[in-house]
């Protein structure tokens, strides 16, 4: 009996210390618009999905929902980068980046996953990083990530696809020959049934002081460069309309 009451007391103490709160989750099984994969190796983590390309030792795309209710400025301790346990072919070792001159650039931003410790930590799988020029990573790429959070607050939940243009004969780093992309892309879909809209950015992996809208391109352009169908489950007419446009008039830039 004493043991029983001790267990109950321990459970209550733990619950009180956690404030009876559970961390929110985003299940990738609920995603309606995962892109196609050129490799057949789609990895579904709890908070985001990715398509891993073993030939280049990085993801060809990552996908997640930027949810308005999950916007957070919670402070999180940065963990070490680790192998992705779900990549069967084994994701690249973080040591490939050592003394390479390139940042371990996040595809799914850690800053978008501050709402949950688990979500935040999962962005530090090496399957979620690619070599980025430091000034690019800390500059215009960081500005674009911040703009996504701004648009999430303004428009509501958005669907985000991020990746790089992977192709043969690019520069590589480390013993595992991790490819250094020349270009990164980010595609944003607002699937509001009353006013669906999308916008895509294609950016060279180098410093830039240009305005973000200077890098807006049609989604079709990125599809032709990658061989990926980004929204295969959208209504065909809507998909064609959204993917052919390079207009950014419906997106607020400030």
By annotation, the residues acting in catalysis are 106
| d(C-alpha 93, C-alpha 129), whole Å | 11
Burial 75-95 (b: 16+ CB within 10 A, else e): ebeeeebeebeebeeebbbbe
| d(C-alpha 162, C-alpha 109), whole Å | 10
Burial grade of 216 (CB within 10 A; 0-12, 13-18, 19 or more): middle
Burial grade of 22 (CB within 10 A; 0-12, 13-18, 19 or more): exposed
For 72, 211, 236, the CA distances from 190, given in Å and listed in that order, are: 20, 21, 16
Residue among 123, 24, 108 at smallest CA distance from 76? 123
Tokens for 193?
A: 């049934």
Quickly count: other Cβ atoms within 10 Å of residue 15's Cβ: 11
Pairing mode, if any, of strands 58-66 and 129-132? unpaired
**8 Å CB contact between 163 and 62:** yes
């Amino acid at each position: 009996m004493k043991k029983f009451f001790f267990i109950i007391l321990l459970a209550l103490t733990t619950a009180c210390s956690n404030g009876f709160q559970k961390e929110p989750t985003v299940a990738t099984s609920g995603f309606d618009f995962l892109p196609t994969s050129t490799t057949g190796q789609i990895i579904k983590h709890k908070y985001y999905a990715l398509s891993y390309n073993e030939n280049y030792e990085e993801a060809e795309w990552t996908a997640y929902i930027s949810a308005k209710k999950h916007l957070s400025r919670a402070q999180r301790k940065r963990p070490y980068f680790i192998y992705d346990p779900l990549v069967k072919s084994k994701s690249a070792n973080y040591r490939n980046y050592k003394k390479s001159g390139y940042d371990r650039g996040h595809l799914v931003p850690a800053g978008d996953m501050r709402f949950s410790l688990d979500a935040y930590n999962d962005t530090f799988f090496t399957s979620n990083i690619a070599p980025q020029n430091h000034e690019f990573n800390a500059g215009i790429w960081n500005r674009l990530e911040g703009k996504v959070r701004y648009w999430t607050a303004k428009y509501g939940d958005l669907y985000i696809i991020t990746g790089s243009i992977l192709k043969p004969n690019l520069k590589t780093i480390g013993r595992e020959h991790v490819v250094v992309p020349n270009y990164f892309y980010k595609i944003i879909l607002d699937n509001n049934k009353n006013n669906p809209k999308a916008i895509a950015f294609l950016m060279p992996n180098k410093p830039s002081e240009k305005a973000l809208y200077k890098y807006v391109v049609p989604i079709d352009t990125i599809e032709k460069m990658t061989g990926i169908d980004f929204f295969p489950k959208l209504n065909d007419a809507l998909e064609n309309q959204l993917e052919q446009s390079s207009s950014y008039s419906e997106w607020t830039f400030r």
